Structure 1
Amino acid sequence: MTAASIPSGAAPGQPDVQRLSSRDNPLLVQLRRLARDPAAYRKAGRVWLEGEHLCSALLTRGLRPLQAVITEAAWETGGALHDLARAAPQVRVLPAALFDGLSGLESPAPLGYVWALPEAGAIAPQAASLVLDRVQDAGNVGSMLRSAAAFGVGQVLALKGTAALWSPKVLRSGMGAHFGLRLIEGLAPEALQALAVPLIGTSLGDDSVALPLARVAQPCAWVMGHEGQGVDAALLARCAQRVRIPQPGGEESLNVAAATAICLYESVRQGAAD
């Protein structure tokens, strides 16, 4: 038997709590796939959120998981993790050794949520946006989502070739930013024609304007490019503005996540000055 109900005398409306004891349980098989394959969420329609921070961030946004998965020790001890688990309609309790097999962390967390992958929806034409052009490093992508959320850019559009937005590494780097953003991925450059706001591209070319001197349109869509190649030339040619970040220290270029934070902050600064 792979699952057994845990007698709890639960009243109606309390979560369905079951204990899992086999690594071949279908839920655990699916979660191992979600934890190891960056694109598995697309087929499964599910996202694996590991750790107390991501679980708390989901609830803070008024969202609810499908299931909580928690170790026996964390469930039986009570406290904050136990309470987070009880926020889900279903709770699955398992030995620490089984939970470790689901984890993508060096030090596995004792709690995770299964959450339904949200529908991407259509591009919001008037929304302040961040466009990711083939940004491949998951850590960079997650940090860029955090900057978007922090500076009020509510829509992120990822072109084909960008790291999977809901992959475990991007989720961990995003630290909960995903839950407050409209995220659309797998787009062709032509899809950006749906935007009614101007595109602003980052470039080191001679036709770019130093960011403090550039008058940034409000709202706009910032286009940030591949870590090594920058913004695609054809896409850059479509941008209404091209800007560069001055680097008096003489470095060749900034990390794309750092550059994103600077550009989005400048948008906020200029908007507040109007």
Structure 2
Amino acid sequence: MVELKSPAEIQRMAVTGRFVAEVLSELRTKAQIGVNLLELEAVVRERIRERGAVSCYWDYSPSFGRGPFRNTVCLSVNDAVLHGLPFDYALRDGDVLTMDLAVSIDGWVADSAVTVIVGTPDPEDTRLVRATEDALAAAIAVARPGNTIGDLSAAIAAVAEAGGYPINTEFGGHGLGRTMHEDPHIPNQGRAGRGFWLRPGLTIAIEPWFARGTDRIVTDPDGWTLRAADGSRTAHSEHTVAITDTEPLVLTRAS
């Protein structure tokens, strides 16, 4: 069931969105060569504690995971792209790191992800990260009343296809608000003009993610981390967006 939010409720989600953006901005600066993933996890735990927020990942137990997720941020390195379980790993020069954070404040959720390159970037990794950012921007641009979920999906797919990146449709964007995952599902490939109509009050997480060489993913022995099946580098960009009467409102954009 799709729940439309009032302008006041969207403003409450915007409070959470600003917090998520601030924490991800801090993590961007801290993600340097030699920094351990567990140090980044510790930063997020402390910021959540200070704010009196609630992690949407702690105790997260979907059907595809192995038991409750006992961390507050997803940290995915290189060929890992989604649900990366933080572990004892020091970042190395050239690593590609995706940081995905979902938090609730006063009962309202925001969700965002960024991918950064640590140290010296490989040009092909830079191109990949930029493609996910461009796909996100393209989808946001059509997130307006009168368009459809298919329009968002088609906009993402057009960027991926132009860059030569295969598209996986198992995991994609989603509605959110009172919980981290609500209807509708937003695949990263679709047909323009098809699917659920976008209406003011709809709040969604749009999240294009691509791998350099495959559309297939495999799950790590940890039961959570999803990796490109061919071991190629991956990237993921995500924003929480509210559909309004006019322009799309990005709730997780850094100020």
Common topology (TM > 0.5) = no
- Greater C-alpha radius of gyration: 1
The alignment's TM-score, normalised by the length of structure 2, stands at 0.26
Higher helix share: 1
The alignment's TM-score, normalised by the length of structure 1, stands at 0.25
Of the two structures, which has the highest relative contact order with CA contacts closer than 8 Å and spacing of 6 or more?
2
